[in-house]
Structure 1
């Protein structure tokens, strides 16, 4: 909660609103409820560090309008859509006129008729200083889904969510920022999803929405360009939501972190922040061998492209789930490990809890009851299809199954000198049924606890939503990206989205992308490396020396400039490591994201709310790399004095630098003079 400046909103434009010092010093009075023409009004007064708000509940047709300082900052949808919606009998229904209400023990309870005869909505609103809790149920009618709908424009711009499913290829090639600038149509939005997501959204009007559920959701934000946000839970149980009303978007984020928790540690070490991880996937895909991996590592070292780990990705096993090397392609894994260690690299392996039906481990796991059971027939193992075939999933709620799986990993470590693992795929699937006493979301927690026993080598693990996901402090790697400019651009806004739902240790997908597409062009590869050098971690695969085109089988060779510029990006990132590590420690103390949108630091700067290609790396570094085909770009600088690293000059903001020259060898970056850590950043970037 921030005390200094209140932000009022009209449409998408914010303006500062100030209160008198005398009023700011008054202790917050309690909330009150009154009846007005056509509405029940709940008023929460401002406090020392809270802005206060007014919630108007329309009684003619139930709708919720949240106001701050007399201006609407969040409003539900009306008309045929309805604010409190439910699905029953194959059709959508919604609450209509309020038939009764009462204010008792700090809870406003409302009863409303609905568009479905015989069905009634009961809503309970519990105010707090900087938020209110909204819980509601449907009685009668046999509802199977409950949802809230909002008028997006009432709150300005929308953010949060995490990796988005969109009609334009999200999350692989499209990540709208703000969300309503595109279309988010995300079914299966839930704790078992492979996407990094959380049911939390925040706005430029400094409001926020958290849906408290362990069930899957259907989320639509401007789907069909309808201007609506629909947040639907695929279950008939009580709909529980928290609406935050704050002074700045950062304050809303901090309120949310106060609920879900901040990282208790970072699973990555200083070296893993300082140097890139090299993974074999986009370099070879499944056509990897022992000799190819060794040649790859040697070539990287010979060209000064040093990292901390060489990680062997998919297709090292004899069959998926065997957890044994394929002797035809990896005849001497211990010798390979020794050679990599001699070059100064750690050695890592890609692993999954999914065991293919043709693996010898599958029948062993079935015979011992180690696999999740089918939701359709719990007497049988659950089988799921994935990109490598059909598999069962190790049941992490079974202690014996977990011990067996961990034992297999430790055998690999002891036999071959494996230092850590990249854990891939999910820990649960909707085709499976959880063990008695467990919910699907519990498997995210169990997966986090299991993987946390091992060095994740700077690629972390994709767990979210569940109770310990935020506290675990894992690095978050993005879903696979394409290899074009649109994927590079999506990787930037996606990092901002993931970072601001509480997962601050972010990195893009492998530099240059993957997804089985032709390798990135020289320009995309270099620009991606330059952008990643100004992020918390660098995750690499495609070698800037030479790589393989998976679509043609031909070798692609880059030129010397590609190598030199990629090396320069690595070196810049390593010089920044002391500053980045300092930001890691700040995050562990306060939960704030390291890579964040400009408006987190400069909430009064109107231009900052729609910028998609700049970000703050901590409080002192503004990154503005070129993410497109041109050699010039515009750079927006908020208020303050900024040191222009490329041009060696001071610039006073707010200012927009148009036509800023950024040929392939230039990465626009600015240091805010006087900000915490500015001296370290200047030393690194000069």
Structure 2
């Protein structure tokens, strides 16, 4: 929210009170509290009739400094709050020398000079200032409508660029933008977002750090857009808590942030294959589904998951979790027949209960639907007629909801598409007394957790996977998330990629999108290019709204592209699943912006039309009908995965590609394990394994390649040794065949 009118004045009705000078400091062993007056105190009388801000500095985890600023402490705290599973109280250490108070936690510290005008200086172990809070950086403000806001400002250094803040489809670099954390079903073509994460990643020529605003409600950001040298964040509250997360590299920031808020679960290997859906409003029954599955098999396009979208249930009754008997008279038999073909099954759900559904009366009688302040069940007709909303703050309602889903699991369903979760009212009363404004964004976290917990319980650890649209901070623990409703155009394809890259810098390890776009019907060129992009993403799903997305609807060449790139992804699975294990263990995403792997390359920091898929594979999707593409290769010798062509970077390239190709390069010196089984993503990765050894590695260097099993454990580890003449020697563990060395993936 903007409060000022230019640099000198305030907007009409706004009154600001800024921390100005320190009046007292109380230092403990692992935290300190400063009391800041909002004006200069020159005589005793100045302490009267004036506010005092309480500023607590502490460390919830190694390398993380927390700051809580409070104006009036008596307001009842109603929650909800972000869960911080990695919090470790007492992680910091305080040192005081006269007026200087310092709190240090691992690679980060904060320094306060109580004898100087108010400032907080965040510093690395060498004493270099990472970020600072200046004279207007700690404040509360009141507006003409009586609202009370807490605001913080952190300096933006010269050349510092800001990323993240959830899945945002606006420009990739957030400098100059106004961003509000407020869940909305706004598609991919607006400033609204399904996944609002109040975490920003800051990268500059001197290093990186992160900022996490610990407030689940609406957080307003001004990123160099009000005070151009500051990032401001504000909440309508009496208290504001934020954390500064140490680097020095961007990956270090994500490791620390996800250690605090939760690491992503490891999705099952089968989920990385191709998903095919019925699409949304299309006509379908078992015959249609069987025709689609047969068509994929006849055309030799491997299929891993079949998804039933909304109309598997009866109209006007979503979600009642009952198959439409007129369309699917034998759901158990149908699911068994599909599973005999090696398919996993996904079904669409949401947390709304339509009035026509029998579950509405049941949930209403049990008190499981959200109510208004007057005691009525909250309802509206948007989406489903007369629908109510399940109250996931009620443990009994959570168990009731899970019991309904368990029936589907017992029938043969393997996973759920957890749609919606954004349109959450604020004029309601929650079972646990939560603040409706804070619950608006946080609701999706409870929703996805309830479903994910059930899958882990019923299917076992390592088998749970969602296809979720909305998320809050910490939601990365419940993968996978997809990009929401996009148009069927090259522009929307690029929007989707920007959103995914932004989300990956917000702690989310796995991300997907609707191949071909959701709204409308793509022309064949868009569909074929989106196939390449989708099958070189973390997860791959064919889905649309009013038209089918089976490849033959778009011509024989689309069938060829689908076949080629599905099989390529299966061949890459030993490598991709290793990168997935890294995301699970460290929080470094599978699908990542170039800046994560090349933070020292200034060109890499703004790239949003290409990405790294894991640490060693560069992908530049084609966003044009004629196949023209412009992309950048950082320093070193890059090898095209499909052709073996070698290109020396750093270099910008402009090329034209047919539908069987795109810029797809192996990082200099990398070794990619390639499987032989192209029929499925969860096959035997070690039988007939080959290694693509890319040039550009160190002479006489050794690269260790570990191939995981389907549970993420190391199944086999190989040593690849290069000599000065360029010869490659591979050693295998006892009992394993030595993989052959190849030049390309073809």
TM-score per shorter chain, which class? 0.7 to 0.9
User: C-alpha deviations, 1:269-320, integer Å up to 9, x for none?
Assistant: 11211x1111222xx5253333323322222222222221211101221221
Match of 1:616 among 612, 618, 622: 612
Distance in 2, matches of 1:186 and 1:101, equals 34
Whole-angstrom distance in 2 between the partners of 1:433 and 1:579: 48
Greater mean alpha carbon deviation, residues 595-604 or residues 323-332 = 323-332
Contact persistence 2:350–2:418 (CA under 8 A): yes
User: Alignment partner for residue 288 of structure 1, among 275, 284, 289?
Assistant: 284
Which residue of the partner structure matches residue 486 of structure 1?
A: 491
1:160 paired residue among 161, 164, 167: 164
Q: CA separation of 1:246/1:289 partners in 2, compared to 1, >3 Å: closer, same or farther?
A: same
Quick one: which of 663, 668, 677 aligns to 2:663? 668
Q: In structure 1, what is the equivalent of residue 16 of structure 2?
A: 94
* Residue correspondences, number: 574
Go from structure 1 to structure 2 and tell me whether the alpha carbon gap of 1:338 and 1:436 turns closer, same or farther (over 3 Å shift).
Answer: closer
Q: What is the 5 A alignment of 1:37-52?
A: none
Is residue 2:428 matched to residue 1:426? no
Partner in structure 2 of residue 238 of structure 1: 239
Q: Distance in 2 between matches of 1:127 and 1:476?
A: 33
Judge conservation of contact 2:165–2:198 (CA < 8 Å) in 1: yes
- The CA deviation at 1:119 is 6.1
2:285 and 2:39 map into 1 onto residues whose CA distance is: 64
Residues 335 and 222 (structure 1), Cα distance of their counterparts in 2 relative to 1, 3 Å cut: farther
The alpha-carbon distance between structure 1 residues 103 and 402, as it changes in their structure 2 partners (threshold 3 A), is closer
CA distance in 2 between counterparts of 1:291 and 1:224 reads 58
Q: Distance in 1 between matches of 2:378 and 2:428?
A: 5
Alignment check: 8 A CA contact 1:382 1:392 kept:
yes
CA distance in structure 2 between the aligned counterparts of 1:306 and 1:579, rounded to whole angstroms: 19
Q: How far has the Cα of 1:373 moved from its partner?
A: 2.0
- Distance in 2 separating the partners of 1:152 and 1:294: 57
Residue 522 of structure 2 corresponds to residue 526 of structure 1: no
Are residue 598 (structure 1) and residue 594 (structure 2) matched? Answer: yes
Counterpart CA distance in 2 for 1:406 and 1:86 is 51
Q: Which residue of 1 aligns with 2:541?
A: 539
User: For residue 298 of structure 2, what is the aligned residue in structure 1?
Assistant: 302
CA contact (8 A) 2:201 2:505 kept: no
Residue 581 (structure 1) shift: 0.6
Deviation at residue 396 of structure 1 after TM alignment: 2.7
Are the equivalent residues in 2 in contact too, given 1:155–1:203 (CA < 8 A)?
no
Q: How far off is 1:228 after superposition?
A: 6.7
SS at match of 1:198: coil
Single out whichever of 356-365 and 145-154 deviates more from structure 2. 145-154
Q: Distance in 1 between matches of 2:508 and 2:451?
A: 17
Q: Is the 8 A contact 1:190 1:217 kept in 2?
A: no
Q: 1:561 Cα deviation (Å)? A: 0.9
What is the root-mean-square deviation in Å for CA atoms of aligned residues? 3.7
For 2:503, the equivalent position in structure 1 comes to: 498
Cα displacement (A) at 1:466? 5.2
Q: Which runs of 5+ in 2 are unaligned?
A: 41-47, 73-139, 186-191, 674-689, 694-741
Q: Which moved more, 1:217-226 or 1:580-589?
A: 217-226
Matches within 5 A, 1:373-412: 373-374=371-372, 376-377=373-374, 379-412=375-408
Q: Cα gap change, 1:659/1:418 in structure 2, threshold over 3 Å: closer, same or farther?
A: closer
TM-score, normalised via structure 1 length: 0.74
| Stretch moving more, 304-313 or 438-447 | 438-447
Partner residue of 1:122 out of 53, 76, 92: 53
The alignment status of 1:562 with 2:562, answered yes or no, reads no
- Quickly say closer, same or farther: Cα 1:593–1:643, change in 2 above 3 A: same
- CA–CA distance in structure 2, aligned partners of residues 459 and 500 of structure 1: 20
Q: Contact 1:488/1:528 (CA < 8 Å) preserved in 2?
A: yes
Following TM superposition, the consecutive aligned residue runs of length 4 or more in structure 1 with deviations greater than 6 angstroms are 76-79, 222-228
**C-alpha spacing 1:576/1:344, structure 2 compared with 1 (3 Å):** same
Q: CA deviation at 1:127?
A: 7.6
Q: State the match for 1:146 in structure 2.
A: 150
Give the aligned partner of residue 477 of structure 1.
Answer: 482
SS at match of 1:162: coil
Partner of 1:42: none
Residues 258, 408 of structure 1: alpha-carbon distance in 2 compared, 3 angstrom cutoff: closer
Counterpart CA distance in 1 for 2:333 and 2:421 is: 31
Q: TM-score, normalised by structure 2?
A: 0.69
Deviation of the 1:232 alpha carbon: 2.2
1:187-336 counterparts in 2 under 5 A?
188=182, 195-205=194-204, 206-221=208-223, 229-234=231-236, 236-244=237-245, 246-263=247-264, 265-266=265-266, 268-273=267-272, 275-281=273-279, 284-285=280-281, 287-318=283-314, 319-336=317-334
Query: How far apart, CA to CA, are the structure 2 residues paired with 1:564 and 1:279?
Result: 19
Task: State the alpha-carbon separation in 1 of the partners of residues 442 and 659 from structure 2.
Answer: 47
Cα deviation digits, residues 8-43 of structure 1 (max 9, x gap)? xxxxxxxxxxxxxxxxxxxxxxxxxxxxxxxxxxxx
2:351 paired with 1:344? no
CA offset digits 1:450-495 (Å, max 9, x no partner): 212226875433463355x34x342112222211111111221221
SS in 2 for 1:202: strand
Unaligned runs of 5+ in 1: 1-75, 165-173
